[in-house]
């Protein structure tokens, strides 16, 4: 739970003292003993309480755990730690988990990190509960970072797109480090303005650069996304000396960053290549059906003009997407040829 904390916040030892029939949680920080309730913030206390409960659960070998809005009042850096713990802890990662949360970004990160784990493919669509005037309904919700970036760019929300670009890059970088079994170093202080970032992404960049630093997408990511002094402006009230990085970017520039991250993911992960092949195959099948329908004289003579126009517009849009996909398909073919040669 303490990952990413400064040395002044690191808990070295925990003990329990019984006083007047009540237990006090005592912590040791910098060789000094303190009452946890007078030393720690609310977020740190909740993290400590969760750690104690998980230790009790592991000791008793409980078959499942219920996390009921467990990240409430916990800051974003420690929420990222909780996600890492769920996936890496030997006990927690092998039992059933029931998780509820009001934090949309926590759930999105959880789902996107899961899709790179194991042999089961994680769908982009998640089911969520929504309260309406007709009662509680189950609603489909897209958790995929790539889709969220594209949606933000369609509405020219450059800031939102950049935030998800960075989250997406961090996720694939962390999975690379996990697969290679390397340590990720980082340090975040309590006054940091990182957006949901626990590790030091510069360190992760250096690790990825060993294998992918020579590629064009990685060069693009380094130059246009890994610019933390500008990217880390979390608020709209900019200082005069700041770079005003986010507002200086256009949707076209962010779209280029998106494409670079997507191309990098195709290079790094087989499941992304398999998923993209299926996606393009479905687009081609739909395009072929539209071509067949629009070439049918009976349909063209009898279909309402609105229907014909809608199909023609859909066909044109699919042709643009398929043309754009040609470069990605060549990348996939090249990567798979290299991997097949290695095997």
288 or 204, which is more confident?
A: 288
Residues of 220-256 as b/e, b for ≥16 C-beta within 10 angstroms? bbbebbeeeeebbbeeeeeeeeeeebbeebebeebbe
Q: What confidence tens digit (pLDDT) does each residue in 112-165 have?
A: 776 665 444 555 667 777 888 888 888 777 778 888 888 888 887 877 888 788
- At 249 the three-state DSSP class reads coil
Question: What pLDDT score was predicted for residue 116?
Answer: 60
Q: Is the pLDDT of residue 94 over 60?
A: yes
Q: 315 pLDDT band (50/70/90 cuts)?
A: very high
Q: What band does 242 get if pLDDT is binned at 50, 70 and 90?
A: very low
Percent of the chain at pLDDT exceeding 70: 77
| Structural contact between residues 225 and 236, judged by C-beta atoms closer than 8 angstroms | no
Confidence of residue 2 (pLDDT cuts 50, 70, 90): low
Other C-beta atoms lying within 10 Å of the C-beta of residue 28: 14
Look over the chain and give the mean of its residue pLDDT values, rounded to a whole number. Answer: 77
User: Which whole number is the average pLDDT over 173-194?
Assistant: 58
How confident is residue 283, by pLDDT bands cut at 50, 70 and 90? very high
121 by Cβ neighbours in 10 Å (0-12 / 13-18 / 19+) ranks as: exposed
Please name each of the domains of the chain with its CATH number. 269-342 (1.10.287)
Cα distance between residue 66 and residue 86, in whole Å: 12
Q: What is the pLDDT of residue 313?
A: 93
pTM of the model: 0.59
Q: Is the pLDDT of residue 64 over 90?
A: yes
Candidate from 35-39, 53-57, 149-153 with smallest mean pLDDT: 149-153
Phi-psi region of 61 (alpha: psi -120 to 50; beta: other; left: phi over 0): left
Residue scoring higher pLDDT (300 or 77):
300
| Tens-digit pLDDT profile for residues 191-240 | 443 333 455 556 666 777 777 777 777 777 777 766 544 444 443 333 33
């Amino acid at each position: 739970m303490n990952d990413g904390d400064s040395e002044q916040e690191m808990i070295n030892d925990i003990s329990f003292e019984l006083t007047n029939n009540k237990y006090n949680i005592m912590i040791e920080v910098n060789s000094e003993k303190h009452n946890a309730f007078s030393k720690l913030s609310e977020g740190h206390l909740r993290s400590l309480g969760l750690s104690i409960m998980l230790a009790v659960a592991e000791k008793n070998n409980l078959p499942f755990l219920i996390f009921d809005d467990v990240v409430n009042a916990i800051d974003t850096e420690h929420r990222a730690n909780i996600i890492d713990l769920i996936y890496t802890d030997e006990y927690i990662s092998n039992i059933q988990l029931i998780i509820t949360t009001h934090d949309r970004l926590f759930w999105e990160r959880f789902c996107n990190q899961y899709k790179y784990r194991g042999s089961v493919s994680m769908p982009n669509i998640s089911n969520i509960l929504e309260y309406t005037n007709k009662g509680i309904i189950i609603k489909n919700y897209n958790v995929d970072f790539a889709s969220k970036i594209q949606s933000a760019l369609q509405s020219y929300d450059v800031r939102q797109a950049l935030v998800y670009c960075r989250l997406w890059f961090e996720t694939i970088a962390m999975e690379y480090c996990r697969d290679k079994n390397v340590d990720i170093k980082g340090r975040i202080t309590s006054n940091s303005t990182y957006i949901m970032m626990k590790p030091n992404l510069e360190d992760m960049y250096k690790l990825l650069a060993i294998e992918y630093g020579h590629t064009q997408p990685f060069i693009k990511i380094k130059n246009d996304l890994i610019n933390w002094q500008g990217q880390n402006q979390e608020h709209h009230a900019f200082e005069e000396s700041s770079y005003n990085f986010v507002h200086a970017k256009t949707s076209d520039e962010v779209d280029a960053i998106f494409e670079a991250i997507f191309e990098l993911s195709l290079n790094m992960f087989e499941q992304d290549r398999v998923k993209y092949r299926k996606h393009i195959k479905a687009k081609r099948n739909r395009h072929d059906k539209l071509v067949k329908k629009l070439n049918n004289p009976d349909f063209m003579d009898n279909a309402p003009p609105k229907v014909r126009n809608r199909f023609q517009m859909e066909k044109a849009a699919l042709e643009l997407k398929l043309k754009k996909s040609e470069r990605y398909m060549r990348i996939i073919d090249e990567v798979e040829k290299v991997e097949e040669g290695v095997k």
